Amino acid sequence: MDSTITIEELLFLANIPENLHAAFLRVTNGLHQRAKYPKEKVFLLLVKMLHSPKKYAFSKNKITNLAKTIYEEIKNGVEISLTDDGKELLYNEEAVLTLEDRETQPKNAFNLREDKLDYAVFGKEYIEEGALQQMETATSLPISVAGALMPDAHQGYGLPIGGVLATEADKVIPFAVGVDIACRMCLSIFDISPDYLKRESHSLKKILLENTKFGMGGEIGRKYDDSVMDLPQWGATKLIKNLKDKAYRQLGTSGTGNHFVEWGILDVLENDALLDLQVGQYLALLSHSGSRGFGGNVANHYSKMAMQKTVLPKPAAHLAWLDLNSEEGQEYWIGMNLAGEYASANHHEIHNKIARDLHEKPLRMIENHHNFAWKEKLADGREVLVHRKGATPAGLNELGIIPGSMSQPGYVIRGKGNADSLASASHGAGRLMSRTKAFTSTTWSEMNKVLEDSGIQLIGGDLDESPMVYKNIEDVISAQTDLVSVLARFSPKIVRMADPNRKEGRED
């Protein structure tokens, strides 16, 4: 059996009141250690119970007593809900189990191909085995046309983070796009000397705090430009209509996990016509976040639907696709693209407010998605759908941003349009360890020393985003010199992230 189940692991799945921590730990560890349930089975049972506590409270099962307690607490007005991680586990594992229970193989069942596609791996020495295995599975899909794995890759759900997969042009895989649809980067560059950071550090921190809001339920009232909410696509489907009000309230906010807004120094390393900035140093603002609860709900809804429509062997179940010629395929495509527009507007809302309070207009703004699907053509002219799940578009002469960590630099890059990488690059440094492991193998004193030595001020943040849990960004960049040219280096100095709150789970 694995080590003891911790409360941190349970809080990634659900918002559990502190007075119930002991009861949850007693029951889950009883199942894990005495009944010999694997952790994964315990976690799935737990999220099922929390999704339907009444059902479990009035039936005989392994967690009846805990379910009765939860049911009574909820009746008394106590909020006990699943986090996005918990919902993700519930929706997708239930879809797998439902499909496995069918007695006969349905007409929409598919086998994996025996002749796996060859695909390029960049920086293989930096990539864990689990990510390589996931990419092997992805390129075995009957609809797969080409693939590539970036040097920051690590294991995820379905397609690994850092995976790029080209499929037939009319097939889209929701889980190859990711839960945080259109998670993206945005960089504003100001004609202000970096000395301003030292002179006006207090003022810059104040501007950050007044114009950002972090957290899974984060909402903000005052808007700079809410015109994205006028797009006709908000009326396209029932799901989108139901999510519109929440999307409006969350416009201009950031999530948890690795989402951030930070001040830093941009060193432009060469005079480049595309970048259009002189060599030198500039004050810059960098942000990382996505489409908030709107994108997450669209992703979970259509991922579950895809797994019901397309039946695959269990190792590939999360790579189920939707046909773009079908009603549900078109609905997802509309929702995904609307999430892209919304995520972009979300960043602009933050940057515009901060620029206004800074009393400066940026010289330049650079931005890119890195969780999305695009209709593109391969080098041989074939039309495909390219899924980039944690990968930066790097087409010929395309500008993009590859961040590091809270203590490592990020880079402004120009794409080289490399065909082997499907015109892609890494989306960051990439994690060395899971969030759960980070909490048990790093300390605040270690993290604070790294930040102090690097001259970085952190507002919020937690150990699961400590610099030590990320790969060395210089190694990752050096592994993709055939994919991108580096034009500028961004060094973070004042970093704003979600405040420590392990009851919330993570939303990156």
DSSP string of 346-367, one letter each residue: HHHHHHHHHHHHHT---SEEEE
Residue 100 has pLDDT above 80, yes or no: no
Residue 202 has pLDDT above 80, yes or no: yes
Long-range contact list for 347-351, CB < 8 A, 24+ apart?
347/184, 347/186, 347/287, 347/289, 348/186, 348/224, 348/225, 349/223, 349/224, 349/225, 349/251, 349/252, 350/186, 350/211, 350/212, 350/252, 350/254, 350/261, 350/287, 351/186, 351/188, 351/285, 351/287
Domain limit, last residue, from 82, 115, 143: 82
Pair 74, 213 in one domain: no
Q: What is the pLDDT of residue 153?
A: 95
Residue 221 has pLDDT above 60, yes or no: yes
- Encode pLDDT of 112-164 as tens digits: 998 879 999 999 999 999 999 999 999 999 999 999 999 999 988 789 999 99
- Please check whether residue 99 lies inside any domain of the structure: no
Pair 209, 320 in one domain: yes
Pair 76, 202 in one domain: no
Residue 216 has pLDDT above 90, yes or no: no
Per-residue tokens: 377: 């053509």
- Please check whether residue 468 lies inside any domain of the structure: yes
Which is higher by pLDDT, 500 or 368?
368
Evaluate the CA torsion angle 258, 260, 266, 272 in order and state its sign: positive
- Work out the average pLDDT over 466-482: 95
Pair 228, 344 in one domain: yes
Q: Which of 128, 168, 167 is nearest to 147 (CA)?
A: 167
- Work out the average pLDDT over 453-473: 93
Pair 308, 185 in one domain: yes
Residue 102 has pLDDT above 80, yes or no: no
Domain limit, last residue, from 37, 54, 82: 82
Contact 398, 384 (CB under 8 A): no
Q: Please, which residues bridge with residue 395 across strands?
A: none
Q: What is the pLDDT of residue 266?
A: 98
Pair 75, 206 in one domain: no
Pair 187, 59 in one domain: no
Share of the chain above pLDDT 70, in %: 94
- Encode pLDDT of 231-271 as tens digits: 999 999 999 999 999 999 999 999 888 999 999 999 999 99
Residue 98 has pLDDT above 50, yes or no: no
Residue 322 has pLDDT above 80, yes or no: yes
- Encode pLDDT of 262-301 as tens digits: 999 999 999 999 999 999 999 999 999 999 999 999 999 9
Residue 329 has pLDDT above 50, yes or no: yes
- Please check whether residue 433 lies inside any domain of the structure: yes
Q: What is the pLDDT of residue 341?
A: 98
Give the β-pairing of 391-393 and 424-426: antiparallel
Counting every residue written for the chain, the total comes to 508
- Please check whether residue 431 lies inside any domain of the structure: yes
> What region, left, alpha or beta, does residue 417 occupy, with left being phi > 0 and alpha being psi -120 to 50 degrees?
left
Which is higher by pLDDT, 76 or 106?
76
Contact 290, 181 (CB under 8 A): yes
Residue 39 has pLDDT above 70, yes or no: yes
Pair 183, 66 in one domain: no
Mean pLDDT check: name the lowest of 20-24, 58-62, 215-219, 361-365: 215-219
Q: What is the pLDDT of residue 180?
A: 92
Per-residue tokens: 203: 């003022």
Pair 299, 436 in one domain: yes
In whole angstroms, give the CA distance from residue 59 to residue 440. Answer: 37
Q: Look over the chain and give the mean of its residue pLDDT values, rounded to a whole number.
A: 91
- Work out the average pLDDT over 363-389: 96
Please count the structural domains in the chain.
Answer: 2
In whole angstroms, give the CA distance from residue 336 to residue 298. Answer: 7
Q: How many other C-beta atoms lie within 10 A of the C-beta of residue 323?
A: 17
In whole angstroms, give the CA distance from residue 440 to residue 438. Answer: 5
With 0-12 / 13-18 / 19 or more C-beta atoms within 10 angstroms meaning exposed / middle / buried, residue 20 is: middle
pTM above 0.85, yes or no: no
DSSP helix/strand/coil, 173? coil
Pair 471, 369 in one domain: yes
CA distances to 142, 295, 469 from 386, rounded to whole Å, are 15, 19, 29
- Please check whether residue 21 lies inside any domain of the structure: yes
- Work out the average pLDDT over 10-18: 85
Q: What is the pLDDT of residue 91?
A: 63
Q: What is the pLDDT of residue 238?
A: 95
The domain containing residue 25 runs over which residues? 7-82
Query: Which residues 6+ apart lie within 8 Å of 332 measured at CB?
Result: 172, 174, 298, 302, 305, 306, 322
Share of the chain above pLDDT 90, in %: 73
Q: What is the pLDDT of residue 92?
A: 61
pLDDT confidence of 106, banded at 50, 70, 90?
low
Q: What is the pLDDT of residue 438?
A: 86
Find the CATH number of the domain harbouring 329: 3.90.1860.10
- Please check whether residue 478 lies inside any domain of the structure: yes
- First-to-last alpha carbon distance for the chain, in angstroms, is 29
Q: What is the pLDDT of residue 400?
A: 97
- Please check whether residue 155 lies inside any domain of the structure: no
Which is higher by pLDDT, 440 or 426?
426
DSSP helix/strand/coil, 162? strand
Radius of gyration of the chain (CA): 23
Q: What is the pLDDT of residue 118?
A: 92
- Encode pLDDT of 311-320 as tens digits: 999 889 899 9
Pair 408, 289 in one domain: yes
Give the β-pairing of 120-121 and 144-154: parallel
Biggest CA–CA distance in the chain, Å, is: 71
Residue 177 has pLDDT above 90, yes or no: yes
- Please check whether residue 123 lies inside any domain of the structure: no
Domain limit, last residue, from 82, 106, 128: 82
Pair 180, 77 in one domain: no
